[in-house]
Amino acid sequence: MATYSQYLPDARRIRSFFLRLPLATRGLLLVMIVFYIAHSRMQGALDLWGALIPKEINIKSLYRLNTFPLIHKSFFHLLLNLFTLLPLLERFESEHGTITTFILFTGPFGLIPGLMYTFLERFIFRLNTGIVGSSIWVFLLLAYESMKIYKSNPEFVISGFGIPTWVTPIFALLLVWFLVPGTSLLGHLCGAAVGYLWGLGWIRFLAPPDKILRWVEGKLNLLGRLPHYVSVDQKTYGRYGVLPSTAGSNGGPVGSTQRLGP
């Protein structure tokens, strides 16, 4: 007879997952938790300071384009976003390395969707809805993953109808918007758009060249000094860099503040 405990998450697997998180993913997780603690203590002041509010964006407040994904409205908001973000972010870092992940998620992956949202919200829709939350990164990464799947499996079939695999993040986006009050459809669309551009390879120039990354890693011995660091060479030689090998057989990713996500 089935017991209630067998339906609960395995604590050992959860602990193992967190213990193997790579460095940049750990860093972003820690910053989000610190921001949430500050948010709960400051009673909304953090939102006014760091939320992406279109009419507040100017030269002096461009920092908002990088801070808004780190702020969450409630513990539930933070928990659900982390639940969906961490596996995707961990996979992205394992594929692209720690430095590239850190640069992209503290720079272009906040700036580009943030600027897209600001332009559309302020100049096209003439609104001023502020947004916060890391789900913009969730849909960015989902869109990127869908493009990877599309290359090997272009469509899936439901009741005889072929549906392109790259549209699945759009279905998820619309479902979240319909089921969860207060979510930003436009914000999620901007995040997904950047994910599609990255998946198509059109904005890969935003990542630093591998040659420079290898020089920095070798000069500073980052792989040896930093626990959980993912080397750029993981893309060729395995997740954590080049491993020693022996001879053997040959072989061959101020308005009203609206949260992003659940």
Of 227 and 16, the structure prediction assigns the larger pLDDT to: 227
Q: Say which residue the tokens 């430095």 belong to.
A: 99
What's the pLDDT score for residue 154? 87
pLDDT of 241 > 80? The answer is no
Would you say residue 258 lies in a domain?
Answer: no
Output the six-digit token pair for 37: 């603690």
Would you say residue 227 lies in a domain?
Answer: no
What's the pLDDT score for residue 242? 44
pLDDT of 249 > 80? The answer is no
Q: Is 188 a catalytic residue?
A: yes
pLDDT for 168-178, tens place per residue?
999 999 999 99
What's the pLDDT score for residue 253? 34
Q: Can you name the residues that pair with 157 across neighbouring β-strands?
A: 162
- Identity of the amino acid at 194: V
What's the pLDDT score for residue 214? 94
φ, ψ of residue 34 to 5 degrees: the values are -60, -45
Quote the domain boundaries for residue 163. 20-208
Would you say residue 73 lies in a domain?
Answer: yes
**Number of structural domains found in the chain:** 1
pLDDT of 54 > 50? The answer is yes
Question: Could you say which of 72, 96, 188, 231 is catalytic?
Answer: 188
Alpha carbon separation from 208 to 83, 96, 108 (Å, rounded): 29, 11, 12
pLDDT for 156-192, tens place per residue?
887 778 889 999 999 999 999 999 988 999 999 999 9
> What span, in angstroms and rounded, lies between the C-alpha atoms of 43 and 134?
20
pLDDT for 104-131, tens place per residue?
999 999 999 999 999 999 999 999 999 9
Whether residue 231 contacts residue 97, with contact meaning beta carbons closer than 8 Å, is answered with yes
Average pLDDT, the chain: 87
Instruction: Say which CATH number the domain at 184 has.
Output: 1.20.1540.10
What's the pLDDT score for residue 5? 53
pLDDT of 144 > 80? The answer is yes
Crossing angle of helices 98-105/23-42, nearest 10°? Answer: 30
Would you say residue 154 lies in a domain?
Answer: yes
What's the pLDDT score for residue 236? 45
Task: Report the candidate in 177, 56, 59, 188 with the shortest Cα–Cα distance to residue 117.
Answer: 188
What's the pTM value of the predicted model, to 2 decimals?
0.86
pLDDT for 57-75, tens place per residue?
999 999 999 999 999 999 9
What's the pLDDT score for residue 43? 79
Would you say residue 251 lies in a domain?
Answer: no
Alpha carbon separation from 107 to 1, 82, 124, 167, 172 (Å, rounded): 52, 19, 25, 26, 25
Instruction: Report the percentage of the chain scoring pLDDT > 90.
Output: 73
Type and span of the H or E element at 131 = strand 130-132
Would you say residue 87 lies in a domain?
Answer: yes
pLDDT of 3 > 60? The answer is no
> What span, in angstroms and rounded, lies between the C-alpha atoms of 6 and 57?
50
Would you say residue 102 lies in a domain?
Answer: yes
Would you say residue 27 lies in a domain?
Answer: yes
Question: Could you say which of 94, 135, 146, 184 is catalytic?
Answer: 135
